[in-house]
Structure 1
Amino acid sequence: MILELGLHDPKVTPEEHRKNHSRMQLFITRFNDVNANGYHGQAKPFAKQVQSLLNEGFSATVLFLPVLFATILVILPLMFTIFVAFTNFDGAHSGNNLFQWVGFDNFLTLFAGQGANEMLSNTIWTLLGWTLVWAFFATFLNYVLGMILALLINKKGIKLKKLWRTVFVVTIAIPQFVSLLAMSKILGDFGPINIWLSEAFGFTIPFLSNGRIAKITVIIVNCWVGVPYTMLITSGILMNIPEDLYESARIDGAGPFAQFTKITLPYMLFVTGPYLITQFIGNINNFNVIYFLTGGMPNRLYLYNANDTDLLITWLYKITTGSDNQYNIASTLGIFIFIVCAFLSLIMYARIGSTQREEDFQ
């Protein structure tokens, strides 16, 4: 075998000698391992296989359950949703006539419907516009107000900082759906605020019954619910900005505004860039605020099974729980929402400073 490997062949170069020697050592090592185990090419006994799962194969053992649950709870439902989007499966189909494959008909109906399906097509584009507007303002206002609140609380000279943080974090301790349901009653047409306005000034404000005002209301209420989260995150970041940066800026004559725009804000945006993307995508799919506060109301007649403040995600819920149970359209809509979220995430992630200028903050 040594001659076959060319270890004594003068025509073989030193580099080839080293490679052949390494192969020989690897072969001998594996051969000795097999002999040491005593299996000689035979399968390990079952007890030894189980024991190996707790030793050298322990990593595979630990990963088995997460992979299993991810397959059952994520991958299989996702595949089912994709398949349903290419069928006519809905609440009217049962028994032997469960569904039929229809190809891309559902996509054409949803995005370019004509005649009876024109309202369906108009609804998705109308709700897409409002969903993006909602996601932008819900993310932007929460971030800005949370940052301002954190700056005020962390400002030197402010006393009882822990108390102020605790006061604003109380909204986090209360379950969100409880707060939203309470606000829906308080801001209702016959809620305490409108009753007081009627008795004191002779007029009421349709917080939740007028389309435009309702949209403004849900954005403001979402700030009340979400600002404390941003305040906590930005407070932690503010306390980790090196004080030397501010000291150098003051020596150079920079004022508070210049320090904020040149040091604080760039640092905050760099660190929280991925968080902002997550918040924006989360607000696109923010079911709770809309459903518990307005239920999508007020009514809008030209929308198909949707109302003024409905997002795409709440509309998806309605068309699967209504009288029609249009699972095929809902699955198509779910795929569309995923594509929108994935596209926006990739675009924003590729442009944020966290990925473009990472070396600047090392």
Structure 2
Amino acid sequence: MKRYSKTAVILSLLCMGLGQLYNRQFMKGIVFLAIHMVGLYYSILYVPGAVRGLLTLGDHAARMELVGKIYQHLAGDHSIYLMIEGLIILALAVIYLGIYLLNIKDAHDAGRIRESGKSIHTFRQDMYALLDRKFAYLLLALPAAGILIFTVMPIIFMILLAFTNYSAPDHIPPAKLVDWTGFQSFIDLLQLKTWSKTFYGVLIWTIIWAVLSTITTYFSGILIALLIQRKGIRFKTMWRTILILPYAIPQIISLLVMRNLFNGQFGPINQYLSYFGLGKLPWLSDPVWAKATVIAVNMWIGMPLTMVLMMGVLSTIPKEFYEAAEVDGATGLQRFRFITLPMILFSTAPILIIQFAGNFNNFNVIYLMTNGNPVQPDYQYAGSTDLLVTWLYKLTLESSKFSTASAIGIIIFLIIASLSIGSYRRSRSFREEDMFQ
């Protein structure tokens, strides 16, 4: 028996489309061959330069040079443009390689059909099959391309920046070239005293903030939901409406209003305290008070969403559980501890983890309430209430310390990913996911 598949694979390896032409799929073979020619042309023309630019990040910076009696500006290499161009070329190369492998598989499958004595599909039949059985893959191709361009590529770009010295004032192209420095940005963050003190201080506060913010919003939501659902409470709809209002108001408006309310000099809260002879409190000007204030404000903003979620969960708990507990003589606290709380935690553990991750990167509350202040003299470009994410923002947009900011972004991702995945895998909702099935 003839080995059409083996011959087709060999030909497809030599040149894209030859396997299809061998299998008498002429239209498909021409399409693959055209892709191969275009890819080969651009590989010869652009890939070497793009790869070299990505590796070196440029050889000559822009400069003024005396030509005759006149100084002329000579354009140099732009390290960041070279990095972006290299990434784009490498991404296209990966896509081209994927098409090449698809071409080999297609030629092999067609060869196997020939070996079995069946007729090979025509190009029109393949197109109909693509629009019919594989239409979902065709639709998914567009969002996949969007994810590659707008999500994956920027993430890779940020990761690469962390291994360079891209920062002001000494390494901003095109006047100054950027160089690869390996793990120096990470070493500086962890070991260099001027940076490590800021990093560890901000990291510890970020963890404390994330834990306290998650706990306060979560359990305040549970408490309010239990009170509203309690028997004998009248006007339940009115209470739900009033308590959901903080969530219905745009967060930026709420935070700016709260910032004015807690203003140490002119805020209404301190004005009322002074009126009753209690003095003025440094709500946002003292480091300890500022941290307590932003946690309280975050609880006020985040509590309504948790409350609504808990009401839905409480309504799913069978009443028979509580009736059986009452027969056994269980107190209200015992019913909450052994029935309500386990059922709530089981249902909402993934959401609790998401809330923790969101609070870890809660930019709005900190930036709009305190802008990271009050000032911390020992910190580099950070204040007493800055989180890692707000510090990253300041390093990027206010100080142009791009490499350090990228290193912080990678560290944030590693912390959030490890904590989230680890916590979820240890939760009952993961270990007992078939409990209610």
After TM superposition, the score normalised by the length of structure 1 is 0.85
Structure 1 residue 159, shift from structure 2 partner: 2.0
The one of 253, 268, 284 equivalent to 1:192 is 268
Between the aligned partners of 1:49 and 1:208, the Cα distance in structure 2 is 67
Amino acid across the alignment from 2:167? D
Question: Is the counterpart of residue 85 in structure 1 residue 162 in structure 2?
Answer: yes
The one of 280, 283, 288 equivalent to 1:207 is 283
Return 328-337 or 201-210, whichever deviates more.
Answer: 201-210
- Contact kept in structure 1, 2:222 and 2:306, CA below 8 Å: yes
The one of 347, 352, 355 equivalent to 2:427 is 352
Question: Is the counterpart of residue 174 in structure 1 residue 253 in structure 2?
Answer: no
Deviations 1:75-111 (A, max 9, x none): 0010000100011112431116331101111111111
Return 198-207 or 340-349, whichever deviates more.
Answer: 198-207
Other-structure match for 2:240: 165
Other-structure match for 2:344: 268
Between the aligned partners of 2:286 and 2:352, the Cα distance in structure 1 is 30
In 2 relative to 1, CA 30–54 (structure 1 residues): closer, same or farther, beyond 3 Å? farther
The one of 262, 268, 283 equivalent to 2:359 is 283
Deviations 1:119-141 (A, max 9, x none): 21100000110001000110001
Secondary structure of the equivalent of 2:372?
coil
In 2 relative to 1, CA 284–30 (structure 1 residues): closer, same or farther, beyond 3 Å? farther
Other-structure match for 2:331: 255
Other-structure match for 1:97: 176
In 2 relative to 1, CA 199–156 (structure 1 residues): closer, same or farther, beyond 3 Å? closer
Between the aligned partners of 2:244 and 2:135, the Cα distance in structure 1 is 42
Other-structure match for 1:23: none
**Contiguous gaps of at least 5 residues in structure 2:** 2-111
Deviations 1:156-192 (A, max 9, x none): 2222222211111111111101100110011011212
Amino acid across the alignment from 2:306? T
- Counterparts of 1:17-96 in structure 2 under 5 Å? 31-32=117-118, 34=120, 37=121, 39=122, 44-45=123-124, 50-92=127-169, 93-95=172-174
Question: Is the counterpart of residue 111 in structure 1 residue 187 in structure 2?
Answer: no
Structure 1 residue 297, shift from structure 2 partner: 0.8
Amino acid across the alignment from 1:214? A
Question: Is the counterpart of residue 134 in structure 1 residue 209 in structure 2?
Answer: yes
Question: Is the counterpart of residue 154 in structure 1 residue 233 in structure 2?
Answer: no
Structure 1 residue 330, shift from structure 2 partner: 0.3
Between the aligned partners of 1:31 and 1:141, the Cα distance in structure 2 is 70
Between the aligned partners of 2:243 and 2:278, the Cα distance in structure 1 is 33
In 2 relative to 1, CA 96–231 (structure 1 residues): closer, same or farther, beyond 3 Å? same
**Alignment length (residue pairs):** 324
In 2 relative to 1, CA 31–264 (structure 1 residues): closer, same or farther, beyond 3 Å? farther
Return 206-215 or 255-264, whichever deviates more.
Answer: 255-264
The one of 371, 383, 391 equivalent to 1:307 is 383
Secondary structure of the equivalent of 1:54?
helix
Amino acid across the alignment from 1:283? N
Structure with higher RCO (Cα < 8 A, 6+ apart): 1
Amino acid across the alignment from 1:70? I
Calculate percent identity across the aligned residue pairs: 41
Other-structure match for 1:342: 417
RMSD: 1.9
Secondary structure of the equivalent of 2:132?
coil
Between the aligned partners of 2:301 and 2:119, the Cα distance in structure 1 is 62
Deviations 1:298-350 (A, max 9, x none): 1110011100110010000001112x301000000100111111121122112
**Contiguous gaps of at least 5 residues in structure 1:** 2-25
- Contact kept in structure 1, 2:222 and 2:307, CA below 8 Å: yes
After TM superposition, the score normalised by the length of structure 2 is 0.71
Between the aligned partners of 1:302 and 1:96, the Cα distance in structure 2 is 32
Structure 1 residue 359, shift from structure 2 partner: 4.6
Between the aligned partners of 1:203 and 1:236, the Cα distance in structure 2 is 43
Between the aligned partners of 1:198 and 1:245, the Cα distance in structure 2 is 51
Between the aligned partners of 1:313 and 1:132, the Cα distance in structure 2 is 12
Between the aligned partners of 1:202 and 1:225, the Cα distance in structure 2 is 27
Between the aligned partners of 1:257 and 1:33, the Cα distance in structure 2 is 74
